[in-house]
Amino acid sequence: MSITIENLNKRFGDHIALNNINLEVKSGELLALLGPSGCGKTSLLRIIGGLDVADSGSLLFHGENVVERDARERNVGFVFQHYALFRHMTVFENVAFGLRVKPKRERHTEAEIRRRVTHLLELVQLDWIADRYPSQLSGGQRQRIALARALAVEPRILLLDEPFGALDAKVRKELRRWLRHLHDELHITSIFVTHDQEEALEVADRVVVMNQGKIEQVGTPDEVYATPATPFVYQFIGNVNLFHSRIHSAWTQQHGDAVAYVRPHDIDISHTQQDPASLAGEIRLVRAIGAVVRAEVAVAGSDELVEIELSRERFEAQPLVNGDQVFIRPRQVRVFDESVKGSL
Amino acid sequence: MAQFKAHSVLPGFNLALGYTLLYLSLIVLVPLSALFFKTAALGWAGFYDIASSDRVLAALRVTFVTSFAAAVTNAVFGLVVAWVLVRYRFPGKKLVDAFVDLPFALPTAVAGITLATLYAPNGWLGQYFAAHDIKVAYTPLGIVVALTFIGLPFVVRTVQPVLADVEAEVEEAAASLGAGRWDVFRRIIFPAIYPALLTGFALAFARAIGEYGSVIFIAGNMPYISEIAPLLIVAKLEQYDYAGATAIAVLMLLISFALLLGINALQWWSSRKGAR
């Protein structure tokens, strides 16, 4: 089931939540809506799910306009950040809920409901807690039950609102891998909202980066990381160093106001000057964080600190110590004209 | 005693328990046992005579039936009031919210006289009922009106916070699963507020059983028809028949106790099923 969004607008009082959104979601893909809080990603998800109404614009499921349709008629599965499980029902009844409220003529027999729910609980690997109540489960288990519940009505589209936001780091990592596997099995068109770039890059087929009610870039995880379309995307996804053309014209190679964006791992560092464009500086901090070593270099003649990442191997071949005089040189630079710089 | 004493960061278990027992004894148990002692002066035969007299039985029936009807009415309409106060925003909401508590503050006799005047056949409201041959004041229906008035805050105030606690997300989840409005109410909201509603019902019911002041003005107090048991007690007291008065009181007490115990059991059963 593909989704087409055209010229969608939504305001809350004076706040513009969504500003003329156009987006095409392909059938069967797993799409991430990524952005800082308040960027409109959750509003967009809720409008697709029919929980909120857009002020203007159209929303098509497989070419069919669904704007007028109620949440209960859209056949969309929704998973909430805080699970929203039914407290007074067992896990089994939670998952069975969508099947039990179907109109009489469409409703399955009790045996069929039982079979389907059991199958779903096996799918989320929680068939052994069918008789428990939500309050007896851990956060990760609750979210998997919420997912099973959403899948029970065989939705055409699955929407997940910060599904792992309330979980601790380790469980979050496990669950997002699991979600990816589940999606590969079911191939249901899915959109999930997150503010965690790592999560979006790891799980999604395509990432939509949003900021202040607008879409900044749509692309595969590799595209948005390697070739960011706007300064905002550059800064939001991954770490970045900024160099102003006024000070470092050799780097931006451009006159007038421009800013060069350089990723920390795209900077070479050496004790000898190998290139006239290199900047001289002094090491201020060296930290080994797992597989990478992070160094901060104070550029001579300015108070800027440049962040540099190098692999452990490279660090061991060329050890760096606080106070070393070094030269840094970018391998890859992306220059944005000052005038197009997105606000942060 | 040690086995009941769970470790707690707050000290004072012994003191608190001792205080609770003393307080309950002084305020509740001593007066109630005095009631039973006084009644015991009648002996079994005397007690049975009073308990089985037609007038007493009729008065008890009037009391419990009207109280039950008033509590049911409050459960339904109190729920609506709580719903409106929690779910909607409208000008004057705070004022409406404050109105709910008025029946608590008003002397019950004032309420009784006011209601009797309003619902009398020639009163502001009574005349419209009278046009359809319905008498409200001076009938059991009038008693129900008075008891509904005094019991309203119980249901509203017990249901309100629980209803406010039901997350909007849970209802949205139900809607996205295809549940209609009625299904959402019946399967999601009602089970969540049901224990609180039952508590409110029990409180309103208990309050109505013991109500005297407002009822006697609107009831008409006709024996066998609109005479309530508390009035009968007062009547016996005025004739210095203390033992007879306490006998009726004991009877009321036993019935009330049994009913409240039943409601509590129902509540315990439903909350055990739910809020685990």
pLDDT tens digits, B194-229: 889 999 999 999 999 989 888 988 888 888 888 899
Of the candidates A78, A86, A136, which has its C-beta nearest B176's C-beta? A78
pLDDT of residue A339: 56
Residue A15 parent element (H or E): strand A15-25
pLDDT of residue B268: 84
Tell me the mean pLDDT in the region A288-307.
Answer: 83
CA distances from A104 to A92, A101, A306, B173 (A): 20, 8, 66, 21
- State whether B173 and A87 contact (CB < 8 Å): no
Of the candidates B172, B176, B275, which has its C-beta nearest A87's C-beta? B275
How far is C-alpha A198 from the chain's CA centre?
A: 7
Cross-sheet strand order for the sheet of A325-330: A267-270, A325-330, A279-289, A292-299, A305-311
Q: Which of A88, A108, A159 to mutate to test the interface with B (most CBs of B within 10 A)?
A: A88
pLDDT of residue B67: 95
The tens digit of pLDDT for each residue in B131-166 reads 888 888 888 899 999 999 999 999 999 999 999 988
Taking only residues 147 to 186 of chain B, the set having a beta carbon closer than 8 angstroms to any beta carbon of chain A reads 167, 169-170, 172-180, 183
The mean-pLDDT minimum among A5-9, A78-82, A249-253, B51-55 falls in: A249-253
Residue A320 parent element (H or E): none
> What residue type is assigned to position B110 of the chain?
V
Q: Which portions of chain B are predicted below pLDDT 50?
A: 275-276
- Looking at chain A, the whole-number percentage of residues with pLDDT higher than 90 is 35
Q: How confident is the model at residue A343 (pLDDT cuts 50, 70, 90)?
A: very low
Q: Which of B166, B167, B169, B177 to mutate to test the interface with A (most CBs of A within 10 A)?
A: B177
Ordered DSSP codes for chain B:
-GGG----SS--HHHHHHHHHHHHIIIIIHHHHHHHHHHHTTHHHHHHHHHT-HHHHHHHHHHHHHHHHHHHHHHHHHHHHHHHHHH---TTHHHHHHHTTHHHHS-HHHHHHHHHHHHSTTSTTHHHHHHTT---TTSHHHHHHHHHHHHHHHHHHHHHHHHHHS-HHHHHHHHHTT--HHHHIIIIIHHHHHHHHHHHHHHHHHHHHH--HHHHHHH---TTTT--HHHHHHHHHHTT-HHHHHHHHHHHHHHHHHHHHHHHHHHHHHHHHH--
Q: What angle do CA A221, A226, A231 make, to 5 degrees?
A: 100
Residues in chain A with CB shorter than 8 Å from the CB of B273 are 88
- State whether B176 and A72 contact (CB < 8 Å): yes
* Model confidence, pTM: 0.77
Query: Min CA distance, B77 vs chain A (Å)?
Result: 24
- State whether B174 and A97 contact (CB < 8 Å): yes
Q: Chain A to chain B, count of Cβ pairs less than 8 Å apart?
A: 75
Reported in sequence order, the residue ranges of A301-344 that DSSP labels E, i.e. its strands, are: 305-311, 325-330, 334-337
- Looking at chain A, the whole-number percentage of residues with pLDDT higher than 70 is 94
Of the candidates A85, A98, A135, which has its C-beta nearest B178's C-beta? A98
- Residue A9's beta-bridge partner residues? A56
Residue A74 touches chain B, beta carbons under 8 Å = yes
